[in-house]
Structure 1
Amino acid sequence: MYGLRGTSIAACTALLLAIAGCSSSSGESDSTTAGPVRLYGSDGNMINSFGEEFKDQAGLLAGMKGTTPLTPLSDDFKERLLSVDPDLGDYLYSGETYDAIVISAIAAELAGTTTPSEIAKYVNGVTTSGTRCDTPRACLQLARAGRDLEYRGISLKRGGFTDAGEPSTASYATLHFDTSDKLDDGKTEFVGAGDESATTTKASPTPRGEGAETETGAPLKIGGLLPKTGDLALAFPPMGAGAALAIREINAAGGVLGEPVEWVDGDDGTNPDKAKQTVASHIDAGVHVIIGAGASGISAAVLPEIVAAGVILFSPCNTAAVLSEADDKGLYFRTAPSDILQGKALADVIMRDGPQQVAIVARKDAYGEGLQGNVRTELEKAGISADNLKLLTYDPPADAATKLDFSQGAKQIKEFAPDAVLVIGFGESANVIKALDAAGVELRH
């Protein structure tokens, strides 16, 4: 949903597993289909909660595999998340959400003020060239002492932020759905990507330091703009838990600028209109940093209003490459990596299975179309001709009550007779897979 340059993704091929065997779906096979089709996904649907969309067609996802930005999480961090939400079933973007809030808090402490434009000057520097620290308590102590520091928390492990305010390196996981429509953790593999040399070398202003006599504007107010509802709502629980945990641990460490950080809840609705309403509410409430949005397209839609208000937008899960060059006046940041990298990773996963014809279906927004284009480019570089690639997009439903109808697209894919189909979307993309099954596209399990 992510801009980084340079990559070690080539190493990914050594980690990817081929899935042996196949069985037909409940759909009827047809002579126009060359054979069983391998199904692939991306971060928006490679989560356990996505499998819950198939309760009426159990096992339909068996064998589906794909990639997601994911750092191996420690058992300790998972236990802390579960103390916030005992029912948590996924951890996707939990670390990135936690880190976005912690970095914002440290930057505010270094700046000595809650003024967003001043906080923004310190954000990139929090991740580079200083005394290394990995907890809110340790980092805030350094910040209060006016010390330069290098935060290495949950998702940020190697390189710091680039000049554009995003990770210079990232970790990706290859994930596999099993016969119960759940991710098989035993098959999850991790690979590093990116280039640490892309980390910014620009120095931050001198830290304010404890005891400086200035008006701070505390308390620091951080607002949520995460997908509590809408097509991406299935990915909200881990992000919500990561946010709550970060606020709890920052305040347990003494808060920021002498006062507890205030969290102002908010929903982006996976809908630009809903997100704009939430943004307006946050601005009226005097929020200094907004955490979100969930989808890249939603962030692109609300960014002009946020920038005009002089507020920071810090997303834990935007990956669209175009956001690296957004006109943000230095107020937009993200802890998720660019889809330029995920395009390489996904293409590598697909090519490992030796496909000859590939269909790529994507939701029509910055995330879907951007990642679709990146994967297409990488597949063509790998030797698949343009004639053997079919690209389709769909308009996401206007609201959660409207069901996506992909029946015509499914017929086109069946006629194309691919041996691989990549589905790039959120919760609504379950209806793409169901439509393929209903059209008689035989899915390899």
Structure 2
Amino acid sequence: MLKTVGVAGAIGLAGCSGNGGDGGDGMDDGDGGDGGDGMDDGDGGDGGDGMDGGDGGDGGGGPDLLTVIGYPESGIQLFRDYYAASDGAEDILIPDGLQDPSLPGQVGNDMNNVTGTAPAAGGPNQEAFSSLYQDTYDETPGVFTSQSYDSAAALILANVAAGENDGTAIRDQLRRIANPDGTSYGPGEFVDAVEAVANGENINYQGASSAVNFDQNGDPASAAYQIWEFAGQSADSVNVQETQNFEGENPDGAGPSADSSPGGLGREVSVGILLPETGDLASTGQPMIRAAELPAQQVNESDLDLTVNAQFEDTNTSPDQGVTGAESLVNAGVPAVCGTASSGVNVPVCQETLIPNEVVGCSPSSTALSVTNLEDDDYIFRTAPSDQLQGRVMAQVASERLGASTAATLYVNNDYGQQLSNRFSSVFEDTFDGEVYDQISFNIGESSYSNVIEQALTSGN
């Protein structure tokens, strides 16, 4: 059965379409906006020569599938140019960065040949979290709120298990409290979970956003993804066809983990929350902040002999402000931080502040591959899935759902676009025996994308 998701629930953050990167890699404002304009020397030449432009724009010998990775602001013109050049015979696959329900209306086409993927809140305790959030705030949880709750909850549990406000000790407890082989607890039993780890017991936190099993990179070892389609030119929602759980390459998790939990009661647990209350992501960041504050409230309102001091700093959706906020938390002795939201803020915060000071960071919404690849000595975690996983999900959907055996990719010319295009292409070819004819970059803000569209449609000829 189909179900609809309103604009506020679209993982691609339709409301951020004016910022290039805001929706593209979960919340990759800094990554997308900065990279899109500045890496363009090769792109102009690629599009300009048209690659067989005289050979037939009907695309009859072209790929089965086009994968388009970008943001709504340039996606409008790109899809207008596509439908002007094609009858829509090709399937098109897009990630969450283009999950804007208003896109068909702006393009002037129902976009019936487009299928999308997007991270979803699909953890085993999603309903329990939703009820908790609704009861506390009298509103429906929004984008990345379940990931925010899970991030703060995991950090608090690891701190209690460690028995001290020490980043290295918390780091070593995160997989012990989150990964399998312990008693299962979720948001509805969070206080019981805290009491269990305080008593030195082995638990398995099962979250709202996912099972919250951390792999060797500190990323979720599995995650839920929506498979969705546009609902038409006048819709304010998209049609979610189904939600599936996908496993990464190491679904059981891996990486350093403590053998035991010292635990203990009679102390104050310190945790930081570093998310955007202001700036471009304010409308999305504010519910995320509320969700991240919930686990601390649950402990502080209980009769446990523990208190949680949750200290908040606003990133203002700015790398500089994010670093300043992180420094304030570190100077206050905070050993672990729920944040940040966007990869453009998260990467400098991790590199300049968290990692050098041996402070654990756990982002609820930064998905870029560059976070996975940080030299972090295992201090950086995420409850949002990496685009390493989304690239695999897209390749699987392309092959198994859409039946494609050949593809071409069009990707926004920045780290996010290039990395996700490369990941999709490698998995599509190596795992699903497909063939990617070409990977073609495009720039944000061009007045026409006809050349790159033609190049994609005629690739493989």
- TM-score w.r.t. length of structure 2: 0.69
Q: Structure 1 or 2: larger strand share?
A: 2
Residue 194 of structure 1 is matched in structure 2 by: 248
Residue 378 of structure 1 is matched in structure 2 by: 427
Residue 5 of structure 2 is matched in structure 1 by: none
1:301 aligns with 2:348: yes
**1:273 deviation in Å?**
2.7
1:112 aligns with 2:158: no
Secondary structure of residue in 2 paired with 1:136: helix
1:151 aligns with 2:211: no
Residue 282 of structure 1 is matched in structure 2 by: 329
Check the 8 A contact 1:38/1:419 in 2, yes or no. no
Q: Using the alignment, how far apart are the partners of 1:237 and 1:307 within structure 2?
A: 26
Cα 1:354–1:406 shift into 2, 3 Å: farther
Residue 175 of structure 1 is matched in structure 2 by: 228
The one-letter code sitting in structure 2 at the alignment partner of 1:415 is E
1:95 aligns with 2:146: yes
1:264 aligns with 2:312: yes
**1:69 deviation in Å?**
2.7
Gaps of 5+ in 2: 1-24, 27-77
Q: Using the alignment, how far apart are the partners of 1:163 and 1:353 within structure 2?
A: 31
Residue 127 of structure 1 is matched in structure 2 by: 178
Residue 81 of structure 1 is matched in structure 2 by: 133
The one-letter code sitting in structure 1 at the alignment partner of 2:192 is A
**1:125 deviation in Å?**
1.0
Counterpart mapping for 1:33-432 below 5 A: 33=86, 35=88, 38-46=91-99, 50-51=100-101, 64-72=114-122, 74-84=126-136, 86=138, 88=140, 91-128=142-179, 129-134=181-186, 135-157=189-211, 160-179=213-232, 180-185=235-240, 187-194=241-248, 198-200=252-254, 203-204=257-258, 206-210=260-264, 218-226=268-276, 228-230=278-280, 235-236=284-285, 239-253=288-302, 258-267=306-315, 269=317, 271-305=318-352, 306-351=354-399, 352-353=401-402, 358-362=408-412, 364-365=414-415, 367-381=416-430, 382=432, 385-386=435-436, 388-394=437-443, 405-408=445-448, 410-416=449-455, 418=457
Q: Using the alignment, how far apart are the partners of 1:335 and 1:181 within structure 2?
A: 28
Check the 8 A contact 2:96/2:118 in 1, yes or no. yes
Q: Using the alignment, how far apart are the partners of 1:132 and 1:68 within structure 2?
A: 27
Q: Using the alignment, how far apart are the partners of 2:276 and 2:442 within structure 1?
A: 24
Cα 1:419–1:184 shift into 2, 3 Å: farther
Cα 1:334–1:26 shift into 2, 3 Å: closer
How many matched pairs? Answer: 373
Structure with more contact order per residue of length (Cα contacts < 8 Å, sep ≥ 6): 1
The CA RMSD over aligned residues, in Å, is: 3.6
Q: Using the alignment, how far apart are the partners of 2:94 and 2:136 within structure 1?
A: 29
Cα 1:66–1:258 shift into 2, 3 Å: same
Check the 8 A contact 2:176/2:257 in 1, yes or no. yes
**1:266 deviation in Å?**
1.7
The one-letter code sitting in structure 1 at the alignment partner of 2:225 is Y
Q: Using the alignment, how far apart are the partners of 1:62 and 1:360 within structure 2?
A: 19
**1:181 deviation in Å?**
4.1
Check the 8 A contact 1:33/1:417 in 2, yes or no. no
Cα 1:349–1:200 shift into 2, 3 Å: closer
- TM-score w.r.t. length of structure 1: 0.71
**1:106 deviation in Å?**
0.8
Gaps of 5+ in 1: 3-24, 395-403, 421-445
| Of 56-65 and 140-149, the range deviating more from structure 2 | 56-65
Secondary structure of residue in 1 paired with 2:272: strand
